Amino acid sequence: MSFLAAALSRVKPSATIAATQKARDLKAQGREVISLSVGEPDFDTPRHICDAAKAAIDRGETRYTPVLGIPELRAAVAKKFKRENGLDYRASDTIVATGGKHILFNAFLATLNPGDEVIVPAPYWVSYPEMVAICGGTAVPVETQMEQGFKLQPEALERAITPKTKWLVLNSPSNPSGAAYSRDEMKKVTDVLMRHPQVHVLTDDIYEHLVYGGFKFVTPAEVEPGLFERTLTMNGVSKAYAMTGWRIGYAAGPAPLIKAMDLLQGQQTSGACSIAQWAAVAALEGPQDHLASFRKAFEERRDLVVSMLNQAAHLNCPTPEGAFYVFPSCAAAIGKTTAAGKQIASDADFVAELLEAEGVAVVQGSAFGTGPNFRVSYAASTELLERACAKIQRFCASLR
């Protein structure tokens, strides 16, 4: 009898974490490595948020919190959803957890039974199908096309829905593609869902504030109020407020689901870090001036990376609407041979040989369910991005 749970056999390691760790290991060996594999803003947490955390410590806010979060943060979450998304959630409809990943995991654990299906548009964030597998469900990837902006098409969604479908996971803007749905595009998706009352929506809005060129963010229950009671709207402070290490995610949804997640969380972690929760209150209710500067910097970096990658041989890089990733195709590089004599047979080979030859770490698209592509995070300085893209250009030019 195996000591380890059988569920582990269904789970693959996180490719993004693996790529980041590989870059760290090479740096520790003395190699010069530029890592564009991590999904983390390179900005500091805004000062007023840090000050709020310090003030919380000084007030003695260092004890256990309620499982669902401190009342002040749950109220701030409800106000945020009303103010920014037009969603009328009560504070009692909200939950705070140790990061957005924790929210997603608890939602799946609270709802999935063996045989339940979860539709996951591909390319997808690497953890979605693995969480579904751990919780006993079946992930159903639905392919999207680069020519259609890597966005789920209503016809494809309709074909994927079965009587066993319990959730659709929708991440806009997307990790890894940066694709974001306009109101019209979102309405076409929600129209399909309205015909299938057994399907719930788990919307991952973590990149909500990072959209560019005047793009207007929308979330499913905002576009189609008829889905309100079937939607868990998830967000957090990690990306837009540069608070990745603070580990605060939040969501709002139907009362029975929040109650079930409360039950699970009470036996897992209990409440999230008290100090980080008070910092999150300041993030949601304090000055938002930094958002414009974040967006401006990221948009400039996006345009730089897209331009430089499209100048590289064998690459085709679309311009995404949001997040801080690009997801270029390296299909034209498949079958080519490196200067070291190694053949590129897949996107995994492409990123491995790029790291070996030029010391640039990116993540293969096949890890996100779509290839031959690779993900580049442009959450790095302009100088670093220019150097990395020049190295990618040099590597691509060397392929024969």
pLDDT digits (tens, 9 = 90+) for 172-221: 999 999 999 999 999 999 999 999 999 999 999 999 999 999 999 999 99
Task: Assess whether pLDDT exceeds 70 at residue 106.
Answer: yes
* 345 domain-assigned: yes
The domain spanning residue 57 has which CATH number? 3.40.640.10
Residue 347's alpha-carbon distances to 19, 123, 154, 333, in angstroms, are 13, 14, 28, 9
pLDDT at site 23: 81
> Is 303 within the bounds of a domain?
yes
Question: What mean pLDDT is predicted for residues 229-255?
Answer: 98
- State the average pLDDT over residues 59-86: 98
Model confidence at 302, pLDDT cuts 50, 70, 90, reads very high
Q: Indicate yes or no: pTM above 0.85.
A: yes
| Pair 51, 168 in one domain | yes
Q: How confident is the model at residue 2 (pLDDT cuts 50, 70, 90)?
A: confident
Do 230 and 259 touch, CB atoms closer than 8 A?
A: no
Where residue 152 falls among pLDDT bands split at 50, 70, 90?
very high
Shared-domain flag, residues 252 and 294: no
Same domain, 30 and 107: no
- Domain identity same for 188 and 324: no
Rounded to the nearest 5 percent, the helix, strand and coil shares of the chain are 45, 15, 40
In a domain, 53, yes or no: yes
Which is nearest to 119 in space by CA: 105, 129, 127?
129
Residue 25 pLDDT exceeds 90: no
186 and 153 in a common domain: yes
Angle at 263 between CA 66 and CA 258, to 5 degrees: 80
Is residue 1 situated within a structural domain?
no
Assess whether 51 and 24 both reside in one domain.
no
What average pLDDT does this structure show over 301-319? 98
Q: How far apart are CA 388 and CA 216, in angstroms?
A: 31
211 and 130 share one domain: yes
**What's the CA gap between 359 and 187, in Å, rounded?**
43
**Domain interval for residue 93:** 47-285
What confidence tier does 29 reach under pLDDT thresholds 50, 70, 90?
confident
Task: With respect to residue 311, please indicate whether it lies within any of the assigned structural domains.
Answer: yes
Residues 295, 235 share a domain: no
The average pLDDT across 112-133 equals: 97
Percent residues over pLDDT 70 in the chain = 100
Predicted confidence (pLDDT) at residue 366 exceeds the cutoff of 90: yes
In whole angstroms, give the CA distance from residue 200 to residue 189. Answer: 13
- Count CB atoms within 10 A of the CB of residue 38: 19
Mean pLDDT (whole number) for 308-328:
98
- Same domain? For 261 and 310 the reply is no
In a domain, 355, yes or no: yes
pLDDT for res 28 = 85
How many angstroms separate the CA atoms of 376 and 139, rounded? 25
Which of 285, 307, 329 terminates a domain? The answer is 285
pLDDT of residue 39: 86
Q: What is the mean pLDDT of residues 244-265?
A: 98
285, 304, 328 - which closes a domain: 285
Q: Is the pLDDT of residue 70 over 80?
A: yes
Examine the fold and report which residue of 285, 319, 343 is the final residue of a domain before the chain moves on. 285
Please give the Cα distance from 16 to 5 (Å, whole number).
Answer: 24
Same-domain pairing of 58 and 175: yes
Q: Do 212 and 75 lie in a common domain?
A: yes
Contact assessment for residue 112 and residue 135, using Cβ atoms and an 8 Å cutoff: yes
Beta-strand pair 231-236/200-204:
parallel
- Which has the closest alpha carbon to 98: 264, 323, 232? 264
Determine the Cα angle at 53 with ends 80 and 289, to 5°: 50
Residue 270 confidence (pLDDT) above 90: yes
Rg from Cα positions in the chain: 21
Is 202 in the same domain as 168?
yes
State how many domains the chain has.
2
- Is residue 20 predicted with pLDDT exceeding 80? no
**Model pLDDT, residue 22:** 80
What mean pLDDT value characterizes the chain? 96
What pLDDT shows up at residue 1?
59
Q: Is 269 helix (H, G, I), strand (E, B) or coil?
A: coil
- Residues 37-62: pLDDT tens digits? 988 999 999 999 999 999 999 999 99
pLDDT of residue 121: 98
Using the structure block, give the residue that is written with the tokens 């693959």: 12
Here the CATH number for the domain that contains residue 327 is 3.90.1150.10
